[in-house]
Structure 1
Amino acid sequence: MSVRNGLLALLAERPMYGYQLRAEFEARTGSTWPLNIGQVYTTLRRLERDGLVTGERATSPGDAAAPDAPATERPTTSATAKATSVTGTPTARAAVVNPEHGDGDGGDGRGIVYRLTAAGEAEARRWWVTPVSRRMAGRDELAIKLALAVTLPEVDVRSLLQRQRVETLRAMQEYTRLRHLADDSADLAWLLVLENLIFTAEAEIRWLDHVESRLIRRGSGVPTGTDREDTR
């Protein structure tokens, strides 16, 4: 998930303080990908350096005029409440800080309202019309772990697969439980996130089954802990 593009998309709606951007991002994604406030300000500084946003010190708390119900003032929805049980972190409402007293980031972005430049608006529009590329996949810890495991004789790969399958099944069951609790009419954004997590977990389980089948077909090509003991 590109935090950079996410912040640009939110700023296309209206100017915001850094803490408001974090709160809006987390509220709209069900707090599934919590943002550190420092990460938000680091990204904003880079966007400002690149000429995509400008930051102006607010003269009053009302300078970053919010919609009728910004995320930081909305009642807690069933989506944000349930998100905590998935991520184990507080929902976006915990990020609320009085802008008159600063954003609580230690000073770098305190009291600054961020807005898009013309170049920033064009970049936000470009993101919406550009498909996400799958040609250069991000680092997948599990894929890396298994790729290394099959090259190291001291690793019990089949045991690793079994433990991972149990963990992924547990996560999928929790996502499915939350999906049944979600309100289809009110929690569309949260539903989309949950369904993505469910489908991703299902695909991971299928892949783990495939890896195990491949190891079985290879026979002793990848020794398990028991295999190694038998050959000593």
Structure 2
Amino acid sequence: MSVRQSLLAILDQGPCYGYQLRAEFARRTGATWPLNVGQIYNTLDRLERDGLVEKGDVDEQGHVYWHITDAGSLEVREWLRAPVERAPRDELAIKLTVAATLPGVDAADVIRTQRSASQAQLDELRGAAYTGPAGPEEVAWSLVTDARVFAAEAELRWLEHAQERLARQGADAVVLELSTDRPKRGRPSQRGAA
């Protein structure tokens, strides 16, 4: 998730100071991803460096209000229009594929351990109850929680699929010994080229 674009989108609604941005981010994401104020100010500094926000007025309490620039508003519109690309590096998939290809590792045990943890997370998510005010904050919390529930359910389905696939292959069928091929370092030799 992009903290950068989320903060820009909030600033596109009007000037805010750092703690205010933190509170708005929490309100709009159901408080499911807490940000520390240092992260907010580091992000604001980078956004300023990139010409997407500017420092504005300082109020009587010393709060510096940040304003979005035209370039920042354009980036928000582009972010909201663009689809989200899921990261190809899924830590669980990588862990399981490496475990399945190592001699002496019981990939089924790795799957059982993960399935137990994933099921516990799913149970916790399903049992979670919103405790804040009714209204938009509740909808935001529900959307984020629902997304996490669906992701946990999908993970459990994938683990079941992986276990079945590995069982069909046979435990030793996917084991890889270290390759005897030695990767070359550096650039190819330029000898003979001219």
Tell me if TM exceeds 0.5.
yes
Give the 5 Å matches for 1:1-232: 1-56=1-56, 58-61=58-61, 100=62, 111-134=63-86, 137=87, 139-178=89-128, 186=135, 187-221=138-172
Separation in structure 2 between the aligned mates of residue 11 and residue 176 of structure 1, nearest angstrom: 33
Runs of 4+ in 1 over 6 A off after TM superposition: none
Separation in structure 1 between the aligned mates of residue 5 and residue 88 of structure 2, nearest angstrom: 16
Separation in structure 2 between the aligned mates of residue 158 and residue 222 of structure 1, nearest angstrom: 14
Q: Is the 8 A contact 1:182 1:191 kept in 2?
A: no
Q: 1:208 to 1:47 in 2, by over 3 A?
A: same
TM-score by length of 2: 0.80
Amino acid at match of 2:8: L
Task: Give 1 or 2 for the bigger CA radius of gyration.
Answer: 2
Q: Which runs of 5+ in 1 are unaligned?
A: 62-99, 101-110, 225-232
Q: Which runs of 5+ in 2 are unaligned?
A: 176-194
Separation in structure 2 between the aligned mates of residue 16 and residue 200 of structure 1, nearest angstrom: 33
Q: 1:59 to 1:23 in 2, by over 3 A?
A: closer
Separation in structure 1 between the aligned mates of residue 174 and residue 160 of structure 2, nearest angstrom: 18
RMSD over aligned CA atoms reads: 2.3
Separation in structure 1 between the aligned mates of residue 9 and residue 118 of structure 2, nearest angstrom: 32
Indicate the SS of the match to 1:216.
Answer: helix
TM-score by length of 1: 0.68
Percentage of pairs with the same residue? 48
Q: Is the 8 A contact 2:27 2:140 kept in 1?
A: no
Q: How many residues align?
A: 173
Indicate the SS of the match to 2:65.
Answer: strand
Separation in structure 1 between the aligned mates of residue 47 and residue 100 of structure 2, nearest angstrom: 42
Q: Give the stretch that moved more between structures: 156-165 or 139-148.
A: 139-148
